[in-house]
Structure 1
Amino acid sequence: MARYTGPKVRVSRRLGTNIFENEKGRKALERRPFPPGAHGRTRRRNAGSEYLAQLQEKQKAKYIYGVLERQFRRTYDEANRLQGPTGENLLRLLEQRLDNVSYRAGWASTRPQARQFVSHGLILVNGKRVNIPSYRVRKGDIVSLSAKAQAMIVVQHNIDTLDRRVVGWLETGDGGKQVTVRDLPQREHIDVPVRESLIVELYSK
């Protein structure tokens, strides 16, 4: 699937959060905590229509999880068919993506890097190589690093240095090189800056 390759700092400033979780974006928001453009400094983030607020929340979720519109809409429709709040179901399905699990495990510094690791066949699910970032893990799955990944300096550096608490629905093992899906993620486990209720309102129109 195609992924966003445009100006990431600009997106983060427009949405008011470090969407791509990189140092460049963090520093840019500290220096210029206002939207880009000629009138960005005087524009209020909460100004605008209800529709704009709803659209921005959808954009946040899409950029954070690296999902384009068609796949995002399919995921939303699936979430809408499940029991329970549609917005929470949507975030739960996005959290179960293999690239996100690899990020949550602390093997990658960002979700885009995690997506790259999966695409390059560096991640195993139940001992088998899976190279589809959107692959959805299930309860009981064991996700681990391949032998090649374990030998990579960047992966070991991430394991050693990233100060990221593994979420409650994952359990680490094998010195941080493996995680077991203990349960499906609940809303309290999902720390993304997204107001999912606004996404539901947008698609319910």
Structure 2
Amino acid sequence: MARYDGPKCRVCRREGGKLFLKGDRCYTDKCAYERRPYAPGQHGRGRVKMSDYAVMLREKQKVRRMYGVLENQFRLYFQEADRKKGVTGHNLLALLEQRLDNVIYRMGFANSRDQARQLVRHGIFSLNGRRVNIPSMQVKPGDTVLVREESRKVPVIQEAQQVIARRGCPDWLEVDGENFKGVVKATPRREDIQHPINEQLIVELYSK
């Protein structure tokens, strides 16, 4: 199935929570979910009793849409998380957080994950001194992300850096805004991910 390119705020309303798909707008009063915190459509305000399976499916869809990952990609992430030692749900979230596009968003070099993905595809960033254009690349502790010198005046990057002070940068990353550089200090832990995610529901869904 192709990637969804419709109204992003509609997705947040459908999943019943903020997915921060529109960058800085999600932190303001203009956020559509703040204005209408119910599902879209004429029956959006109606009460719907969801089955246990539907609850698990909605949680999976929420996380998948938050990180901008297609269904097959998400399943592969789950299989890799299941093979690794530790708690499968925590491993899954760590793998998603370590995607290059997410790291760039977290560092404040893009206003949203979608925007970060587009900037990576245009070759604006380098990873450990090498130009990269694959948003799904996995970063590791010690990796250095740098905005290439010829791209540092791109308006969206300068705007994003002004926003990072509002949403904050996670402890597992270190950012040097003056030099347009970020360093991955450690593997993200579960407590570093502040979004209201119940990863156990996803594990139960794929375990059926």
**TM tier, shorter chain?**
over 0.9
Structure 1 pair 174–36 and aligned structure 2 pair: CA distance change class (3 A): closer
**Displacement of 1:14 after TM fit?**
1.0
1:27-176 superposed matches below 5 A: 27-43=31-47, 47-162=49-164, 163-173=166-176, 175=178
Identity of aligned residues (%): 50
Q: Which runs of 5+ in 2 are unaligned?
A: none
Q: What CA distance in whole angstroms lies between the structure 2 residues aligned with 1:113 and 1:8?
A: 13
Q: CA deviation at 1:146?
A: 1.0
Letter of the 1:172 partner, please give it.
V
Q: What residue in structure 2 maps to residue 7 of structure 1?
A: 7
- The 8 Å contact of residues 8 and 20 in structure 1, kept in 2 or not, is answered as no
SS in 1 for 2:55: helix
Asked if the contact 2:64/2:74 (under 8 Å) is kept, the reply is: yes
How many residue pairs get aligned? The number is: 203
Larger deviation, residues 32-41 vs 73-82: 32-41
4+ residue runs over 6 A deviation? none
Q: Tell me the distance in 2 between the aligned counterparts of 1:71 and 1:57.
A: 16
Amino acid at match of 2:207: S
- 1:98-125 Cα offsets, whole Å, 9 max, x none, are 0000000001111100111111111110
* Equivalent pair of 1:124/1:145 in contact (CA under 8 Å): yes
> Following the alignment from structure 1 to structure 2, what is the Cα–Cα distance between the partners of residues 3 and 167?
28
Describe the superposition over 1:27-60 as per-residue Cα deviations: whole angstroms up to 9, x where unpaired.
321222111222211225xx31111110011101
| 2:99 partner letter | R
Q: What value does the CA root-mean-square deviation take over the aligned residues?
A: 1.9
Distance 1:99 1:2 in 2: 19
Gaps of 5+ in 1: none
Change (3 A) 1:79 1:24: closer
Q: Deviations over 1:65-97 (max 9, x none)?
A: 110000100010000000111000000000000
Q: What TM-score do you get using the length of structure 1 for normalisation?
A: 0.92
Which one-letter code corresponds to 1:186 in the other structure?
A: R
CA offsets per residue over residues 144-194 of structure 1, 9 Å max, x none? 111132121221121134323111111112526111111100001112232
